């Protein structure tokens, strides 16, 4: 059964208006719809507000004369201001919710040529959201105006597959943003890649503060700069990238550095100073180690973030700076709030988009692509090409991904190691001897940094005497050894990598933390119990 054709649209208050016989010499979009010989319109649903009812009656009469079989139904919408988005959209929304659409028997076209620009945009949005279950209809006047010339029309189906190319372009742009955030490094850690995908999504759609948490050297400052470059490439920022390590700010110098001061504000203030917050106007301000800021500076920062205004030290007049904030910390700010060292209101303000950057030891699969990136960077800086011998590369990778590699400084440690090996390479080749020397150097370095291990807890302290008596000697010895490793590890993933260092190599997707969790569950234990 052929579906009926139903067209919905606004009467054109000016375009459709016409009086006298000369009205047929003008192109009127709604009337012209009925003049197409190849277009059979069964029904026309015509929208208007109360003041244009007379235009609707004229259009109805002219369509009846041109296409008698076309039914025209007029709908007076309670639109008070045709240029107000909320007013127009809400009226159309109410109409769509109450209209008896019958998609099995009727085909709907939404005419977007008439009406105000606001009305046309609202019709587009309603059709895209499927409140109007049809396609868009766009009409154009004839190239050579003449009596009865209907012009042309085109249907735009928002679901057509040809629009996949547009979606693909957006997808490519999004992937370019992700690649920029990762500096082109083909990272392999799935959790890290998911996090970067979300950061890209948020960065191009939001100006809200972001918080990067993670250990020193995990790449917080590096990622913040990449976010800035991404936003600048999308023309979302016009100012500079300002990078501040709050751990270096103390006393009056902290307030002066961030918020500026006026001449004479304190001893030594011989002239005005604008401060870094004003320098970051229209740009991005990265406050690394924000947990090191004093409470007074935190209060001033909160006002600057929320109101884009603040007082320079010693000043009587507020200054303005519109910047985007990214904060970094290696502390647990929630614990700092509980201890009274960090303001709860500031934490709430910067905790909207929070991301925990994992340390290098938690991303062993990403060590190799980062080595390749660092070698390429070294080559660009020195003008030389440096590569590993096959045996040397395998040797270094075995050690780098092993539990023995601490990577306390994370990517800073890796960068330093690669730089040393590339510098010592003869004829651009890193040999096994160079790698062996570097491994020895790293072991010495980390040995001096390893803190004394926490005192071991006995099984009786963890399980209780009765439960221990029910265990075989084999299970007692094995479980005690597992507990000792866990007590000396930073987290469950770290402990799992140490405990399953050999068997994990044979698994396509090792999940060390889950294996350890299941082992502990056999004894009704969890991570919190054994590490408290």
Q: What is the DSSP string of 260-328?
A: -B-TTSSTT--S-B--HHHHTTTSEEEEETGGGS-HHHHHHHHHHHHHSEEPPBT-SS-EE---EEEEE
pLDDT tens-digit profile of 174-186? 677 777 777 667 7
CATH 1.10.8.60, the chain: domain bounds:
360-448
| pLDDT at position 508 | 72
CATH 3.40.50.10770, the chain: domain bounds:
4-162
| pLDDT at position 449 | 58
Its CATH class, for the domain covering 180-356, is alpha beta
| pLDDT at position 159 | 60
pLDDT category at 423 given cuts 50, 70, 90 is very high
DSSP state of 426: B
Its CATH class, for the domain covering 4-162, is alpha beta
Highest mean pLDDT: which of 23-27, 373-377, 460-464, 505-509? 373-377
Average of per-residue pLDDT across 118-135:
90
Average pLDDT of every residue of the chain: 87
pLDDT tens-digit profile of 190-232? 888 899 999 998 998 899 999 999 988 888 999 999 999 988 8
In this model, does residue 451 exceed pLDDT 60? Answer: no
Two tokens at 504?
A: 């994990």
| pLDDT at position 293 | 92
Average of per-residue pLDDT across 116-124:
94
Q: Which of 8-22, 27-41, 276-290, 359-373 has the lowest mean pLDDT?
A: 8-22
Two tokens at 321?
A: 């700076």
pLDDT category at 442 given cuts 50, 70, 90 is very high
Determine the Cα–Cα distance for residues 24 and 59; give it in Å rounded to an integer. 11
In this model, does residue 367 exceed pLDDT 80? Answer: yes
Q: Which of 43-47, 311-315, 321-325, 417-421 has the lowest mean pLDDT?
A: 311-315
Strand stretches in 346-399, DSSP E: 353-356, 387-388
pLDDT tens-digit profile of 305-332? 999 999 998 888 899 999 999 999 999 9
pLDDT tens-digit profile of 68-87? 999 999 999 999 999 999 99
Proportion of the chain above pLDDT 90, given as a percent:
51
CATH 3.40.50.300, the chain: domain bounds:
180-356
Average of per-residue pLDDT across 361-383:
91
| pLDDT at position 419 | 95
Proportion of the chain above pLDDT 70, given as a percent:
94
Contacts of 470 (CB under 8 A, 6+ apart): none
- Find out if CATH 1.10.357.140 is the number for domain 360-448: no
| pLDDT at position 454 | 47
CB of 4 within 8 A of CB of 106?
Answer: yes
Q: Which of 358-372, 377-391, 451-465 has the lowest mean pLDDT?
A: 451-465
In this model, does residue 61 exceed pLDDT 70? Answer: yes
pTM over 0.75: no
CB of 92 within 8 A of CB of 125?
Answer: no
Determine the Cα–Cα distance for residues 203 and 468; give it in Å rounded to an integer. 53
Average of per-residue pLDDT across 225-243:
90
In this model, does residue 162 exceed pLDDT 80? Answer: no
| pLDDT at position 252 | 67
Furthest CA-CA distance within the chain: 107
Determine the Cα–Cα distance for residues 39 and 135; give it in Å rounded to an integer. 15
Where does residue 32 rank: exposed (0-12), middle (13-18), buried (19+ CB within 10 A)? buried
């Amino acid at each position: 059964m052929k579906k009926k054709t139903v067209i919905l649209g606004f009467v054109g208050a000016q375009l459709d208006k016409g009086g006298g016989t000369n009205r047929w010499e003008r192109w009127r979009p709604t009337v012209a719809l009925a003049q197409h010989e190849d277009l059979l319109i069964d029904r026309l649903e015509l929208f208007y507000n109360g003041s244009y009812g007379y235009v609707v009656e004229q259009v109805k009469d002219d369509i009846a004369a041109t296409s008698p079989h076309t039914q025209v139904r007029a709908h007076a919408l309670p639109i008070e201001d045709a240029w107000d988005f909320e007013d127009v959209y809400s009226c159309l929304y109410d109409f769509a919710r109450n209209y008896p659409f019958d998609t099995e028997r009727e085909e709907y076209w939404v005419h977007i040529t008439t009406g105000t620009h606001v009305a046309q945009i609202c019709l587009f949005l309603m059709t895209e959201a499927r409140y109007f279950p049809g396609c868009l209809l766009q009409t154009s006047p004839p190239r050579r105006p003449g009596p009865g010339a209907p012009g042309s029309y085109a249907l735009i189906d928002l679901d057509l597959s040809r629009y996949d190319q547009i979606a693909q372009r957006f997808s490519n742009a999004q992937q370019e943003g992700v690649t920029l955030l990762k500096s082109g490094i083909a990272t392999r850690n799935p959790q890290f890649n998911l996090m970067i995908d979300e950061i890209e999504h948020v960065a191009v759609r939001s100006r809200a503060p972001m918080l990067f948490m993670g250990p020193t050297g995990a790449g917080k400052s590096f990622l913040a700069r990449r976010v800035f470059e991404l936003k600048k490439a999308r023309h979302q920022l016009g100012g500079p990238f300002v990078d501040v390590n709050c751990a270096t700010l103390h006393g009056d110098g902290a307030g002066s550095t961030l918020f500026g001061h006026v001449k004479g504000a304190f001893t030594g203030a011989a002239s005005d100073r604008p401060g870094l917050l004003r320098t970051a106007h229209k740009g991005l301000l990265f406050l690394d180690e924000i947990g090191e800021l004093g409470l007074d500076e935190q209060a001033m920062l909160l006002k600057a973030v929320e109101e884009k205004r603040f007082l320079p030290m010693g000043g009587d007049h507020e200054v303005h700076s519109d910047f985007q904030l990214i904060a970094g910390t290696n502390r647990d700010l929630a614990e700092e709030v509980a201890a009274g060292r960090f303001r709860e209101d500031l934490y709430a303000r910067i905790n909207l988009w929070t991301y925990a950057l994992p340390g290098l030891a938690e991303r062993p699969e990403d060590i190799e692509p980062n080595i390749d990136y660092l070698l390429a960077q070294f080559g660009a800086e020195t003008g030389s090409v440096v590569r590993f011998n096959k045996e040397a590369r395998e040797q270094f990778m075995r050690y780098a991904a092993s539990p023995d590699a601490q990577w306390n400084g994370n990517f800073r440690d890796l960068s330093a190691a690669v730089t040393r090996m590339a510098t010592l390479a003869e004829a651009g080749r890193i040999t096994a001897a160079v790698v062996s020397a570097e491994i020895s150097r790293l072991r010495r370095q980390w040995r001096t940094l390893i803190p004394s291990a926490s005192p071991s807890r006995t099984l009786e302290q963890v399980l209780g005497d009765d439960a221990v008596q029910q265990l075989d000697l084999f299970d007692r010895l094995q479980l005690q050894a597992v507990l000792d490793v866990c007590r000396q590890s930073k987290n469950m993933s770290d402990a799992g990598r140490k405990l399953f260092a050999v068997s994990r190599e044979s698994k396509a997707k090792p999940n060390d933390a889950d294996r350890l969790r299941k082992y502990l569950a056999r004894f009704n234990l969890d991570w919190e119990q054994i590490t408290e």
